[in-house]
A = this chain, B = another copy of it.
Amino acid sequence: VKDVCVDRVTIEDVAARAGVSPTTVSHVFSGHRPVRAETQEVVRRVANELGYRANAVAKSLRTNRTSTVMIVLPDITNPFYPLFARGVQDLLRPSDYQTILCNTDSREQEELAFLEEALARRLDGLVFMGYWVDPERLAAVAESGIAVVNLGEGAGQVDAVSSGDREMAARVTRYLVGRYGPDVAFIDGTSDAPVARSRMAGFRDGRARAPVPDGSVREVSEDFTRLGGRRGMTTLLDAGAPPQAVFCANDLIALGALDVARERGLRVPHDVAIVGWDDIEAAALVSPALTTVRSHPQLLGEASGKLLLSRMTGVYSGPSRSVRVPAELVTRESA
């Protein structure tokens, strides 16, 4: 039959050919009310013959549910995020949700645009990892009926999943102080990012009031990229005596810092210890292998998915929750 190919077969076509009403066809597939076995048989056979495929768009318009979730991330190309996304997706798959993946490149305008998009498309859920958008806006999205999970320390306005960055950053800093001396430096990523803020705060907690050598710099903000790491490390080294240890806000930064240390003939960790954050695959492969914080991206994703699902299915509808998936320090060679 031609119809199989052109695929404009509607529920009415099936109903007509099967000699039943559209309602019955609908219920055969939804199972929302009992249908006589023989009738079911006929309907399914006819639907098959005609190549009927329920129009999900029409269904969404009617039911007001899209079975779609948006994941907003800085950049899927940063190895941390694919793992996170997989975590979300894997958790949502059994419930037949599809996920739209969006890259903001850490730009405010993109973040806002995607929020609009989520609203316009009437998505069921949103997992958001943003740098610029303030929590109120996220809360407004949630208000409109979309389940929202914020990746990072939530401001208590929407459900949040985090790995307790601040506490962890403090712990790592103290570890460095204890092992290499009090003069520890920090290379931050985009400094206004929530993540960056917490890690920087933790760094300060841990470093306490240790003195900074004259004319030296011990805190510097760059991008969350390898190049950012290079620039940050260069700034640190050019400003005076090298610190005893450098704590980087993520692994890409640490990789860049490692590059610069190598180029300048500094031995790691002997002359300067380096710690990253994320434990991307490359961290274990560089030499010296990178000591880093493993934040379990996939588990974070699954936790986000779980929160989302509980709201989307209506299982939970109370006040905002905050889940913590603790990070761990993976000590390798660089510190």
Please report A residues at the B interface, Cβ cutoff 8 Å.
Answer: 5-7, 53-58, 60-61, 66, 68, 75-77, 79, 81-83, 85-86, 89, 98-103, 116-117, 119-122, 140, 143-145, 255, 281-282, 285-287
With A56-B120, A61-B58, A76-B85 in contact, do A6 and B285 touch (Cβ < 8 Å)?
no
Say how far A55's CB is from chain B's closest CB, in angstroms. Answer: 6
Number of copies: 2
Does A122 lie within 8 Å of B56, measured CB to CB? yes
Does B76 lie within 8 Å of A76, measured CB to CB? yes
Say how far A292's CB is from chain B's closest CB, in angstroms. Answer: 14
With A101-B99, A145-B7 in contact, do A120 and B54 touch (Cβ < 8 Å)?
yes
With A57-B121, A100-B68, A287-B287 in contact, do A6 and B86 touch (Cβ < 8 Å)?
no
For A76, what are the chain B residues with a Cβ–Cβ distance below 8 Å?
76, 82, 85-86, 89
Report the separation of the CA atoms of residues A145 and B103 in the bound assembly, to the nearest whole angstrom. Answer: 28
Report the separation of the CA atoms of residues A83 and B81 in the bound assembly, to the nearest whole angstrom. Answer: 12
Does B85 lie within 8 Å of A120, measured CB to CB? no
For A117, what are the chain B residues with a Cβ–Cβ distance below 8 Å?
98
Report the separation of the CA atoms of residues A278 and B86 in the bound assembly, to the nearest whole angstrom. Answer: 21
With A57-B60, A145-B7 in contact, do A89 and B103 touch (Cβ < 8 Å)?
yes
Report the separation of the CA atoms of residues A287 and B85 in the bound assembly, to the nearest whole angstrom. Answer: 30
For A98, what are the chain B residues with a Cβ–Cβ distance below 8 Å?
100, 102, 117, 121
A-B contact pairs, 5 of them (CB 8 A): A56-B122, A76-B76, A77-B83, A79-B79, A100-B100
Chain B residue nearest to A54 (CB atoms) is B120
Report the separation of the CA atoms of residues A100 and B97 in the bound assembly, to the nearest whole angstrom. Answer: 11
Report the separation of the CA atoms of residues A121 and B67 in the bound assembly, to the nearest whole angstrom. Answer: 10
Can you add 16 more A-B contacts, CB < 8 Å, to A76-B89, A79-B281? A6-B145, A7-B145, A53-B120, A55-B122, A56-B120, A56-B121, A57-B61, A76-B85, A79-B79, A85-B101, A86-B103, A89-B103, A98-B100, A99-B101, A100-B100, A100-B101
